[in-house]
Amino acid sequence: MGWITEDLIRRNAEHNDCVIFSLEELSLHQQEIERLEHIDKWCRDLKILYLQNNLIGKIENVSKLKKLEYLNLALNNIEKIENLEGCEELAKLDLTVNFIGELSSIKTLQHNIHLKELFLMGNPCASFDHYREFVVATLPQLKWLDGKEIEPSERIKALQDYSVIEPQIREQEKDHCLKRAKLKEEAQRKHQEEDKNEDKRSNAGFDGRWYTDINATLSSLESKDHLQAPDIEEHNTKKLDNSEDDLEFWNKPCLFTPESRLETLRHMEKQRKNQEKLSEKKKKVKPPRTLIAEDGKALNVNEPKIDFSLKDNEKQIILDLAVYRYMDTSLIDVDVQPTYVRVMIKGKPFQLVLPAEVKPDSSSAKRSQTTGHLVICMPK
C-alpha cells in the first residue's frame, strides 16, 4: 500500500525544484494511497491537489490548506463529505466515482462560500430520486454540478420543492446505510475465512512440502537427478496453484465496494510479490562496473547519469556535479587521483579522466549552499 511521505512529495515536486513548503500544485494520483495525511503540514501554500485513483477512505487533514482552490479525489473509497470547512478558497471539488451514500453530508460544504463546481457522478447518492434538486437547493453558491450549469429557474424550483425532497433523500440514505452495513459485515466475514484458509495452506507441512514416503533412505536420493526432480515438481505445482488461484479470483463475481477495491489491490500486490520472488531467483549477479581498463587507463563512467560541467584554467580544474539538492552528503564519496577523479553517489560511480595532471593533496570538495551541487577544485 502507498503512504504519503516527504520523499514522495519531493519526487512529485520537480517543477518547483523539489521545494515543498512553497508548492502550489501537487499530483499524487495512482499511488495506492490509503490515507490522506501530512500534506496540510508540509504544503500550506497548495492551490491545486490531485489525489484521484487512490484508496483514500476519508477526507481528513486538509483543513489547514487555506489557499486550496481545486481538490480532485475522484476514484477513491470516500463514503462521506467532511472536514473541508477550513479550505476557505475551495472553488472546485471532484468526488467522481466514490462511494458517497450520505448525500446530506454536502451540507458541510455550505461553509465553502467560493465553491462553484462540484462533481458527484458515479456515487450511490447520484442515483437517488431528486438528487440534483437536493444539491442545488442545499448549496446556493454552486454554479455547476456534474459538469452541467445550474440555471436560475432550476434553483428556484429546487428551493420550492426542498421541504418535500429532503425527507425522501433521508429515507434513501437510510436504506443505503443498511445495505452498506450488511456488505461490510459480509466482507469482514469473508476476509476472516480467507485468512483461515491461508493459514491452513501455509501449515500443510513443516517446511511447506507434502511427504508420502517417510522411510525413504539417503541412498535413494544420492543421484543428481533425484535431487533436482522434487524441486522442479514443487516449482511447477506452485506455479499451477498460483495460476488457478489467480483465475478463480478474477472470475469470482463481486460487488463494487471499497472492500472489493482493497481486496483487488491486495491480490495484485500478492501476485507482484510472488513474481518478484521468482525473478530474484532467476536474476544473475550483475558484474561490477569496470573503472580501470586492463592496460591501466582510467575510463569515463557516469552510472548515476548526473549532469556535470568541467572548467579548465591555467591554475586549476573545476568539476561541478549537479548532485540532487536534498541528498545527504554522507551518500557521496570523493577520490581525486593525479589523472582522474572518482565520485561515488549512493554507491554508483562517476569517473572522469582529467585533461591535465592535478595535485590530489591540495584538492577540495564542497557542496554549494544554493544549488546543492558538488564542486571539486583540483590544482594543476
Q: Are 101 and 124 in contact (CB under 8 A)?
A: yes
Pairing of strands 340-345, 117-119: unpaired
What angle do the packed helices 258-282 and 152-202 form, to 10 degrees? 50
Give domain limits for the chain: 2-178, 301-379
> Which of 50, 57, 101 shows the shortest CA–CA distance to 76?
57
At 324, is the secondary structure helix, strand, or coil?
coil
Q: What values do phi and psi take at 68, rounded to 5?
A: -60, 125
Q: Are 58 and 38 in contact (CB under 8 A)?
A: no
Q: Is 139 exposed, middle or buried (0-12, 13-18, 19+ CB in 10 A)?
A: buried
Q: Is 319 exposed, middle or buried (0-12, 13-18, 19+ CB in 10 A)?
A: buried
> Which of 60, 123, 118 shows the shortest CA–CA distance to 92?
118
> Which of 162, 157, 68 shows the shortest CA–CA distance to 115?
68
What radius of gyration do the chain's Cα atoms show? Answer: 31
The helix (run of H) or strand (run of E) holding residue 241 is helix 224-251
Distance (Å) of CA 188 to CA 34, 78, 250:
18, 18, 19
Distance of CA 120 to the CA centre of its chain: 24
Distance CA 174, CA 179 (A): 9
**CATH superfamily, region 2-178:** Ribonuclease Inhibitor (3.80.10.10)
Lookup: cell for 180:
452498506
Sign of the alpha-carbon dihedral angle for 176, 180, 183, 189: negative
Q: What is the pLDDT of residue 250?
A: 54
Distance of CA 194 to the CA centre of its chain: 26
Distance CA 173, CA 127 (A): 11
How do the pLDDT tens digits run along the chain, 380 residues long?
678 998 899 888 877 777 888 899 999 988 989 999 999 999 999 999 999 999 999 999 999 999 999 999 999 999 999 999 999 999 999 999 999 999 999 999 999 999 999 999 999 999 999 999 999 999 999 999 999 999 999 999 999 999 999 999 999 999 999 998 888 888 788 777 766 766 665 555 444 444 444 444 444 444 444 444 444 455 555 555 566 666 665 566 656 677 777 777 777 777 777 777 777 766 666 677 788 888 888 889 998 898 999 998 888 999 999 988 778 888 899 999 999 999 999 889 999 999 999 999 999 999 988 888 999 999 99
Lookup: cell for 182:
450488511
DSSP-assigned states of every residue in 46-64 = -SEEE--SS---S--S-TT
At 301, is the secondary structure helix, strand, or coil?
strand
Pairing of strands 144-145, 332-336: unpaired
Distance CA 192, CA 201 (A): 14
**CATH topology (fold) of 301-379:** Immunoglobulin-like (2.60.40)
Distance CA 44, CA 21 (A): 7
Distance CA 167, CA 187 (A): 30
At 318, is the secondary structure helix, strand, or coil?
strand
